[in-house]
Structure 1
């Protein structure tokens, strides 16, 4: 094979890998926005759950306080309020679980894009050579950098999803601290911050087709 033919094969391999990386990052960017939109919907739901839990706690205390004049006058009232509050909390939990499904879908799509890019890279890495993999310019980050960013994003999405699921599974309606911890977890913007930071480095690369 002549040097010219070798260079042509290397250029073609580089073009294919960069094309896949561009496609992957565009999809990841969309999924990042979808994640943020869905995640932001959860915050008022969790705050509502916390408010309901506080009311539930007050109701429980009222039930235990036999001397409470309202309870003495309307003995069935605390039980009815409790049932209503528990029903409302169940509805909120259902909405949260639906949103978790959307977050999981975003996480799966990000992971798929990392796998797709790695598959194309692995098919062409021998032809590419180390110099092309490490080469970067003002308009195009290095292939090695972009693969690393995709790997980090796939890992971060998976971690953040797992943490939200863990906190959600710990929820007990009488445990206000657990609900507060869940709220803090959903306010974590690690994904948004990491994604925005790296997308800024890829402005020129992601423009156009």
Structure 2
């Protein structure tokens, strides 16, 4: 046991938390960029869905194109090929989200294991101690738990949205950019931002 009754376990848990928050901080700009990049591509996909809908409703029999009986199917095939190319680009950005989600969850799992290893040696009073540069251990564990759950839930929701894309449901494809933009409520974004501000001095500490 170290000076002033602080068990060595506290330092181990704080080091794990520091790694967690550092990973969360590094991941944030890449996460937000990947989300924005996906939305830009989803707008293009929605435009293709609009063209598919117009094509589906078009009556080529009353036009000069009646002499090309397979034109409609050929045009639809071309639109689907374009949509598939967009979806591959979207999936590549979604994979970035998955990688970041995995990194955050892995760090949090390691951190929680550290806490469980030393929990019996850390008094409740110690978990509530705070200083001007170091928030309480209990607070930081709760913040990181909430942040990890938010990222995990957001990724799962976005993954399901992309899996539901179907060329027979053009209305869904046209709504998708707006739906995508509404997945993460502003309070979730504010929570992660505010949390990183609260631990900014803690992240600069070495011990």
Global fold match (TM > 0.5) = yes
Q: Which runs of 5+ in 1 are unaligned?
A: none
2:137 — aligned with what?
143
- The answer as to whether partners of 2:134 and 2:201 remain within 8 angstroms in 1 is yes
**How many angstroms does 1:44 deviate by?**
0.9
Indicate whether 1:31 and 2:32 are aligned.
no
Name the SS of the counterpart of 1:66 in structure 2.
helix
TM-score normalised to structure 1 length: 0.86
Match of 1:205 among 198, 202, 205: 202
**How many angstroms does 1:186 deviate by?**
2.8
Q: Deviations over 1:158-207 (max 9, x none)?
A: 21111112211221224233224432343234453321121111121122
Indicate whether 1:18 and 2:14 are aligned.
yes
**How many angstroms does 1:88 deviate by?**
0.2
- The answer as to whether partners of 1:9 and 1:127 remain within 8 angstroms in 2 is no
2:120 — aligned with what?
126
Match of 1:164 among 155, 158, 161: 158
1:44 — aligned with what?
40
After superposition, the Cα gap between the structure-2 partners of 1:120 and 1:98, relative to the gap in structure 1 and judged at 3 Å, is same
2:76 — aligned with what?
82
Figure out how many residues of one structure are paired with residues of the other and give that number: 203
- The answer as to whether partners of 2:34 and 2:96 remain within 8 angstroms in 1 is yes
Poorly superposed stretches of 4+, deviation over 6 Å? none
Indicate whether 1:57 and 2:53 are aligned.
yes
More deviation in 187-196 or 165-174?
Answer: 187-196
Match of 1:110 among 104, 110, 133: 104
Name the SS of the counterpart of 1:193 in structure 2.
helix
**How many angstroms does 1:111 deviate by?**
0.8
Hey, what's the Cα distance between the residues in 2 that align with 1:71 and 1:114?
61
- The answer as to whether partners of 1:57 and 1:174 remain within 8 angstroms in 2 is no
After superposition, the Cα gap between the structure-2 partners of 1:80 and 1:25, relative to the gap in structure 1 and judged at 3 Å, is same
TM-score normalised to structure 2 length: 0.87
**How many angstroms does 1:9 deviate by?**
6.3
**How many angstroms does 1:71 deviate by?**
2.8
Hey, what's the Cα distance between the residues in 1 that align with 2:97 and 2:2?
44
| Coordinate RMSD, CA, aligned | 2.1
